[in-house]
A and B are shown apart, each in its own frame.
Chain A
Amino acid sequence: MSACRRFEEEGLLRLEQGLPLGEHFATCADCLAERAFYERLRGDIAAAGEGIEPPPGWEAELWAAVAQRKASRRRPWSWWLLVPAAAAVLVAVLLLRPSAPPPARLALAVEVETGTGTVRRGAEAHPGDRLRLRASIGEAGHAELRVYRNNRALVLRCSTEPPCRRGQGTLEAELPLPAIGSYQSLLLTSERALPGEAGAGLDPDVAAALETGARATLGTEVEAR
């Protein structure tokens, strides 16, 4: 370790501020050695990013997600317009995907739809806004969406019945936010029947579900204020 610490204490910040270093830093052997070390470290940090590449097929998957997002926003009478685009995307995905497909990942996407119809991702909402839940459930035999207010009150629980809509590998639901509070969404999946509510809020319910071998996925917590 160097005896003179001025480079670490002053010199580093001056360099980041784009200011010239004083005379001391040009003559102090310790500071010159320190400067050389940190210049190498900057290069090492830059080099640490090399070789990190996106996984194969990522662009095709992105375009498939864009097409899916567009389709979900499109008016029902124009669904047939999507058929050629969807077919093209499907072909692209099949051609570009890795040879061994990854296992289905569970995911729970949460969006907030405001009174004006604006949809956004994010953790903030107002009472009256609608929470839109979209889950990927793979091939799970049983799946359930739940929303807890303030981690205690179960304000939504559904599986195949309204307001849930189960599709091919997906489960969706919407919930108007009735009051201020935090809303935590939860996706439970299992090959066996899922347990009912334990009755004391989110944590005991999840613990009970995990004990039966179910998988639990939390969505973004939304704060209505």
Chain B
Amino acid sequence: MGAESAAPRAAGEDPEQEAREALVRGDRDGVLAILVRAYGPALYRYCRQMVADPDLAKDVHQSTFLQAFEGLEGFGGRFLFRAWLYRIARHRCLDALKIARRREKRFPGAGELPESPDPDPGADVSLGERDRIAAVRRCLGELAPHIRSAVLLRFQEGFSYDQMAGRLRERAPTLQARVARALPGLRRCLEAQGFAS
């Protein structure tokens, strides 16, 4: 059932509605299959950029869905499944980073996340653009994790501040200020890497 590869969503398909209906039927496997198909790749992208290490990202990604699966009975339906998944993923990523930092502090060298090659941004991107996007990725990686999370959720995943605030249990003005302050920091980082404009 769940083992087929991720398929693009057909027009008019509403994974939130489908998942709600499956949940009402008590079909937990069905709910998970819908969420995996609809949100799995994007959620991995978020995890990968949060923790950088592909192996750790894979673990965090999987544990996000496992935690969601186990928490389905308590899912009240007041929020979007998508926002709920990202909230779990954010916690798992921040936990993973905290453990890696603690390990590094205790055993220098043991908890350091390995450098991994940047994924190819796509064949239709010019060489200059590739370099710039690679630099943007590096600069995003230098942001503090909670700031990086807000920037990714806002500009890559398209969450509104109200959606982010509701599920992340933070105030929208705090998140707005966090993102607005992060952008000049990203700019300085890009400029330091030779991307002035």
Give me the interface of A with B, judged by CB distance under 8 Å: 8, 12-13, 15-17, 37-38, 41-42, 44-55, 58-63, 65-66, 69, 89, 92-93, 96, 105, 107, 121, 123, 203, 206, 210, 216, 218, 220-221
**Cβ of B180 and Cβ of A62 under 8 Å apart?**
no
A63 to chain B: which residues have CB within 8 Å? 1-3
CB distance from A11 to the nearest CB of B (A): 9
Contacting A54 at CB < 8 Å: which of B44, B67, B102, B156? B44
B63 to chain A: which residues have CB within 8 Å? 121
**Cβ of A41 and Cβ of B186 under 8 Å apart?**
yes
A41 to chain B: which residues have CB within 8 Å? 136, 183, 186-187, 190
CB distance from A187 to the nearest CB of B (A): 12
B95 to chain A: which residues have CB within 8 Å? 123, 220
**Cβ of B65 and Cβ of A12 under 8 Å apart?**
no
Interface of A is mostly: helix
9 sampled A-B residue pairs with Cβ under 8 A: A41-B187, A45-B151, A46-B155, A48-B136, A49-B49, A52-B45, A53-B45, A93-B3, A210-B107
CB distance from A95 to the nearest CB of B (A): 8
Q: Does B110 contact A (CB under 8 A)?
A: yes
Give the distance in Å from the alpha carbon of A69 to the alpha carbon of B121 in the complex.
36
**Cβ of B156 and Cβ of A45 under 8 Å apart?**
yes
**Cβ of B40 and Cβ of A58 under 8 Å apart?**
yes
**Cβ of B70 and Cβ of A69 under 8 Å apart?**
yes
Nearest residue (CB) in B for A49 is B156
How many of chain B's residues touch chain A, expressed as a range? 35 or more
Instruction: With A44-B133, A48-B156, A216-B110 given, name 7 new contacts (CB 8 A).
Output: A12-B180, A15-B180, A47-B129, A49-B49, A51-B121, A59-B36, A96-B5
Task: Report if A218-B3 is in contact (Cβ < 8 Å); known contacts: A17-B176, A47-B133.
Answer: no
**Cβ of A221 and Cβ of B102 under 8 Å apart?**
yes
B152 to chain A: which residues have CB within 8 Å? 45, 49
Give the distance in Å from the alpha carbon of A75 to the alpha carbon of B187 in the complex.
57
Residue of A16, A38, A216 most packed against chain B (CB within 10 A): A16
Task: Report if A58-B62 is in contact (Cβ < 8 Å); known contacts: A38-B183, A48-B137, A92-B3.
Answer: yes
Q: Does B177 contact A (CB under 8 A)?
A: yes
Q: Does B38 contact A (CB under 8 A)?
A: no
Give me the interface of B with A, judged by CB distance under 8 Å: 1-6, 29, 32, 36, 40-41, 44-46, 48-49, 54-55, 58-59, 61-63, 65-67, 69-70, 95, 99, 102-103, 106-107, 110, 119-122, 125, 129, 132-133, 136-137, 140, 151-152, 155-156, 161, 173, 176-177, 179-180, 183-184, 186-187, 190, 197
Give the distance in Å from the alpha carbon of A93 to the alpha carbon of B3 in the complex.
8
Contacting B177 at CB < 8 Å: which of A13, A53, A61, A92? A13
Give the distance in Å from the alpha carbon of A167 to the alpha carbon of B136 in the complex.
45
CB distance from B188 to the nearest CB of A (A): 10
B70 to chain A: which residues have CB within 8 Å? 69
Give the distance in Å from the alpha carbon of A61 to the alpha carbon of B70 in the complex.
17
